């Protein structure tokens, strides 16, 4: 992924995030020609503020993530005695002082990977992403002593799967030795990961193994309708994933892989 394409992708998701839409719409309202009726300008401003406030609520963010998670297939299973590779996609890293640690998302994925690993005797872990070395350290700190492969070059989902496919095809050149691939990532992200897995790992049997949902299933409460930073984070995360899912689907349909 080039620096220019990374910048373009980041700019696109920023523009279509709740904050980006709010700022752009507010700017349009402010610079609109003054001969436009003041009443229409006022209504446009009120609607923009209301929409942004709604997007900042926990209820709105949870609803969008639930829509994405509903697209995810159910986890499957196979013969526990057959060879398997648990492919874990990196979920980012965070700075803690002078050190970097796996993000909450990465840790959630690793816990799921450990769960899958412990249920299979012939399982190998493959961690994909530039944060992979940090995730490997996290695993060792949590008493993991199995075989672990590292793919530490990829910066996005497409590259995660493509680079992992190259590594797996090099290790398993013979179709008769192909292992089952358990694909581990966040539940709201598994649909997009499976899109690319069907492109680059189509020779393998891929079983989605999403980490537990980020959305706690609970009754609707009044506090969920109060705009908060967490609500904005959830909505922004869901918006980014929806935009990326549509983009990647179109790329695959157009053959730009």
Segment 100-150, tens digit of pLDDT: 899 999 999 999 999 998 887 668 999 999 999 999 999 999 888 888 999
Segment 21-45, tens digit of pLDDT: 777 777 777 776 656 667 777 777 7
Cβ atoms 245, 191 nearer than 8 A: yes
- Which CATH number applies to 75-208? 3.40.50.620
In this prediction the pTM is 0.85
Region(s) of the chain under CATH 3.40.50.620: 75-208
Q: How far apart are CA 234 and CA 214, in angstroms?
A: 9
| Per-residue confidence (pLDDT) for residue 37, from 0 to 100 | 67
Q: How far apart are CA 102 and CA 96, in angstroms?
A: 10
Q: Which helix (H) or strand (E) holds 234?
A: helix 229-253
| Per-residue confidence (pLDDT) for residue 209, from 0 to 100 | 94
Segment 177-208, tens digit of pLDDT: 899 999 999 999 999 999 999 999 999 999 99
Q: pLDDT at residue 221 above 60?
A: yes
110 vs 175, more confident: 110
Segment 70-80, tens digit of pLDDT: 988 666 565 56
Beta-carbon contacts of residue 64 (< 8 Å; ≥ 6 apart): 234, 235, 238, 239, 242
């Amino acid at each position: 992924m080039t620096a220019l394409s990374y910048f373009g992708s980041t700019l696109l998701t920023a523009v279509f995030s709740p904050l980006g839409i709010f700022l752009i719409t507010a700017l349009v309202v402010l610079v609109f020609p003054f001969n436009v009726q003041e009443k229409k300008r006022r209504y446009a401003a009120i609607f923009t503020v209301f929409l942004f406030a709604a997007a900042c609520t926990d209820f709105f963010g949870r609803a969008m993530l639930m829509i994405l998670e509903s697209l995810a297939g159910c986890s499957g299973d196979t013969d526990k005695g057959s060879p398997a590779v648990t492919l874990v996609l990196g979920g980012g890293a965070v700075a803690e002082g002078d050190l970097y640690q796996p993000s909450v998302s990465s840790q959630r994925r690793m816990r799921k990977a450990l769960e899958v690993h412990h249920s299979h005797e012939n399982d190998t872990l493959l961690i994909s992403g530039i944060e992979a070395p940090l995730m490997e350290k996290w695993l060792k700190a949590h008493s993991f002593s199995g075989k672990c492969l590292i793919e530490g070059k990829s910066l996005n989902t497409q590259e995660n799967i493509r680079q992992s496919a190259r590594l797996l095809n090099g290790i398993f050149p013979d179709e008769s030795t192909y292992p089952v691939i358990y694909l581990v990532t966040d539940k709201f992200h598994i649909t997009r990961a499976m899109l690319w897995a069907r492109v680059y790992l189509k020779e393998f049997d891929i079983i989605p193994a999403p980490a537990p949902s980020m959305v706690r299933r609970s009754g609707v409460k009044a506090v969920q309708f109060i705009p908060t930073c967490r609500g904005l984070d959830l909505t922004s995360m869901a918006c980014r994933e929806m935009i990326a899912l549509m983009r990647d689907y179109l790329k695959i349909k157009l053959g730009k892989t």
